[in-house]
Amino acid sequence: MIAKAKIIKGMYLDSVKLMLISKELRGLQGVEDAVAIMATKENKDILAATGMLVEEAKTAKDSEIVVVVKAQDEPKAESAMQKAEELLTAPVKKRSGDKAHPGSIQAAVRDLDGADICLISVAGKYAAAEANKALDMGLHVMLFSDNVSVAEELYLKQKAVDKGLLMMGPDCGTAIINGVPLAFSNVMQAGHIGLVSASGTGLQEVCAGIAHRGEGISQAFGTGGRDGKNAIGGLMLCSCLDFLMQDADTKVIVLIAKTPDAEIQAKLWEKIGQSSKPVVVNFLKDMEVPPIADMQYCNSLEETAAIACAVLRGDKPMYPEGEGYPLPKPIAGRKYIRALYSGGTLCYEAMQMYKRRRGHYPKSNIASETEFMLKDVWHSEGDCFIDMGADDFTVGRPHPMIDFTLRLKKIAEEAVHKDVAVILLDVVLGYGSHINPAKELVPVLQGLDKEIVVVCHVLGTEDDPQHLHEQVKALKDAGARVFTSHRRAVAEALDIVEQGGV
C-alpha cells in the first residue's frame, strides 16, 4: 500500500468540488481511499490513523487543503494523483444537453407565437419572481410551484386582477383551460359546466363525476388552496366566478373550496347571489348556508357532480348503482382503517365522512387540530388517514400520483399489523399521473394477507391515457373492492369496520 499527497496552493475551491474530487478518486481502480481535506491538526490525526499522513501532508498548514490518496501500488497512486490534478483544474460544468430550450418566459413566448398562458413549475423561492414576469408580459399564470409566501401570493393576485388576468396558484395542480388539461388533469369532453376550485383532486373528482354522467365542461379553473383565506381575500375565486358568470359556454357553475374563512364565504355568497346562472357549491364541510335562489350546497364531491349535471339537464341527480360487494365476515381483532391517499382533498373528504359517522376525526398527518395529528407520520395509530402527497412524504421525491414506491412500501407495512381491517387507497388517473398505476399496485395487493380488505377508489375518465376500465378491472382481479366514486369507497371502508371488522 502506498500513499501520496498534494497540497493545493493558490486555488480557491468550494466544498462541493472537494467532495466530488474525493468521490472520483475513490472510484478509481486500485485506490483504497482518497480524500481532499483541510489540513487541520485534527484531520492530520485522522490521516495518521489510516496510514495516509505522508510527508507532504505533514507540512501542509491548517488553512491549506491537501489531497491524499492511498492505493495498492506506486503506479496506481501516481495515476490517481494525476487524475486529482486534472479534476482540480477542470472548469466548472454548467449545463448539459444539446437540445435548445428557451431560457426565459420571454424566449418561450417568442418561440410559441400567440401563447397567452404560462405554467410555472420552479423551486418556490424563484416562483413569485417568474410569475410576476409573466403577468408583466400580459400572460395568464398557472403557478404549480408551492413555497410562495402569502405576501407574494397576494401581490401577484392583486396585480392579475388589475390587469384582468388569471393567477392560478401557487400550489395549483389542476386546471383545464379551453379543453387543454394542465398539470394533473383528466381528459374531459367539452360541455356547459364551468368549475372553479381551490382544491386540486377535488376538482378532478368532480370533473370525473361529470364525465361519468355523460356531461362535459366549459372551463375548470384552479386557484390554489389559500385563495379562500382572509389573507388572500378570495381574489381568484371571485375573478373566476365573474368569468364563468359572463361566459356564454357556461350554463351551470360549480364552486369547490376547502372551507373558506368566514369573511370570504360572505363575499362568495354575495357574488353567487348576483349570478344569473345556477351555482353548485361544496366547501368540503357540513355547514349552514344562506338561502340563495338557484344555489345548491353539496356534502360530497360525488353529489356536487351529480347535482351540477342534474341542474344542467333539468333532471334528478343520478347516482350509478352500487358495486354490490357483500360485507365480509368479521374477524376478531381486525378493526382499523388505514387510508393511504395521494390526493389531499380526497383524504380531507374521507376524514369529514369519518367524522360524520364517528363524531370525531381519525388520526392524520393533515389534521387541523393537534389532538388528531399523528405523532409520527411514519407510524400509523388506530384509524389513520394519511395524505401521502403532503410535504411529509414528498420532499425530495416525486408526488405519489407519479411514483408509487413509498405508497407500496407503506401498504406492505400497514398490512403486517393484525389489527388492520381495511386499507383504503385512491388511484388518480389523467395527465401527469403514473401511466399504469394498476401495474404497480397489483403485485403488492396480491401478496397481502387475505384477511385484509383493500378498498380502492379510481379517479379518472374513460378518455384518460391510463384507460379507466382497464385499471378498474386489473385492480378488481387483484382482489380489491374498486369504486369510481370516492364517497362510495369511503362508505364501504366505514361499513366494513363498523360491522365488526372483516
Closest separation in Å from C-beta 181 to another protein: 26
Closest separation in Å from C-beta 23 to another protein: 8
By DSSP bridging, strand 336-341 and strand 363-364 are unpaired
Q: Taking CB under 8 A as the rule, does residue 61 contact another protein?
A: no
What residue has cell string 483544474? 89
Grid cell in block for residue 134: 409573466
By DSSP bridging, strand 174-177 and strand 180-183 are antiparallel
* Segment lying near another protein (by CB under 8 A), choices 110-118, 183-191, 251-259, 391-399: 391-399
Among 19, 107, 231, 416, binds another protein (CB under 8 A): 19
Output phi, psi for 296, to 5 deg: -125, 135
Grid cell in block for residue 333: 381483532
Grid cell in block for residue 460: 379518472
Q: Taking CB under 8 A as the rule, does residue 136 contact another protein?
A: no
Q: What torsion do the CA atoms of 348, 186, 406, 19 make, to the nearest 10 degrees?
A: -120
Grid cell in block for residue 126: 424563484
Q: Which is nearer to another protein, 50 or 436 (CB)?
A: 50
Helix (H, G, I), strand (E, B), or coil: what is residue 119?
strand
Q: Taking CB under 8 A as the rule, does residue 380 contact another protein?
A: no
Q: Taking CB under 8 A as the rule, does residue 485 contact another protein?
A: no
Q: Which is nearer to another protein, 89 or 370 (CB)?
A: 370
Q: Which is nearer to another protein, 388 or 448 (CB)?
A: 388
Closest separation in Å from C-beta 213 to another protein: 34
Beta strand ranges found along 355-440 (DSSP E): 363-364, 384-387, 420-428
Closest separation in Å from C-beta 118 to another protein: 20
* Segment lying near another protein (by CB under 8 A), choices 14-22, 77-85, 134-142, 176-184: 14-22
Among 90, 327, 378, 418, binds another protein (CB under 8 A): 378
Q: Taking CB under 8 A as the rule, does residue 14 contact another protein?
A: yes
Helix (H, G, I), strand (E, B), or coil: what is residue 397?
coil
Residue 442: name the closest of 470, 402, 414, 484 by CA: 470
Q: Which is nearer to another protein, 15 or 89 (CB)?
A: 15
Closest separation in Å from C-beta 431 to another protein: 24
Residue 424: name the closest of 403, 406, 405, 410 by CA: 410
Among 125, 356, 409, 418, binds another protein (CB under 8 A): 125
Cβ within 8 Å of residue 31, ≥6 positions away: 25, 69, 70, 71, 72, 76, 77, 80
Q: Taking CB under 8 A as the rule, does residue 101 contact another protein?
A: no
Helix (H, G, I), strand (E, B), or coil: what is residue 172?
coil
Mask for 148-177, x = binds another protein (CB under 8 A): ------------------------------
Among 365, 461, 484, 485, binds another protein (CB under 8 A): 365
By DSSP bridging, strand 180-183 and strand 31-38 are unpaired
* Segment lying near another protein (by CB under 8 A), choices 7-15, 177-185, 278-286, 483-491: 7-15
What is the CA 236 to chain-centroid distance, rounded? 21
Strand partners, 425: 340, 456
Q: Taking CB under 8 A as the rule, does residue 65 contact another protein?
A: yes
Euclidean distance between CA atoms 486 and 489, whole angstroms: 5
* Segment lying near another protein (by CB under 8 A), choices 37-45, 204-212, 274-282, 459-467: 37-45
Among 55, 113, 288, 376, binds another protein (CB under 8 A): 376
Q: Taking CB under 8 A as the rule, does residue 37 contact another protein?
A: yes
Q: In this structure, are residues 381 and 392 in contact, taking their beta carbons and an 8 Å threshold?
A: no
Q: Taking CB under 8 A as the rule, does residue 436 contact another protein?
A: no
Closest separation in Å from C-beta 373 to another protein: 6
Closest separation in Å from C-beta 9 to another protein: 14
Q: Taking CB under 8 A as the rule, does residue 331 contact another protein?
A: no
Grid cell in block for residue 39: 489540513
Three state DSSP letters for 297-331: ECCCHHHHHHHHHHHHHCCCCCCCCCCCCCCCCCC
Residue 184: name the closest of 128, 102, 236, 119 by CA: 119
**Length of the chain in terms of residues written:** 502
Among 321, 326, 396, 450, binds another protein (CB under 8 A): 396
Among 31, 35, 66, 244, binds another protein (CB under 8 A): 35
Closest separation in Å from C-beta 407 to another protein: 16
Q: Taking CB under 8 A as the rule, does residue 146 contact another protein?
A: yes
Euclidean distance between CA atoms 257 and 417, whole angstroms: 35
Q: Taking CB under 8 A as the rule, does residue 383 contact another protein?
A: no
Residue 466, class by beta-carbon neighbours within 10 Å (0-12 exposed, 13-18 middle, 19+ buried)?
Answer: buried
Q: Taking CB under 8 A as the rule, does residue 261 contact another protein?
A: no
CA distances from 434 to 48, 154, 206, 341, 342 (A): 52, 33, 20, 14, 11
Among 29, 55, 63, 276, binds another protein (CB under 8 A): 63
Strand partners, 420: 336
User: Residue 32 gets which letter from DSSP?
Assistant: E
Q: Taking CB under 8 A as the rule, does residue 403 contact another protein?
A: no
Q: Which is nearer to another protein, 356 or 378 (CB)?
A: 378
Contact residues for another protein, defined by CB under 8 A: 12-20, 22-23, 32-33, 35-38, 40-43, 46-47, 49-52, 62-63, 65, 92, 94, 124-126, 146-147, 365-366, 368, 370, 373-378, 390-392, 395-396
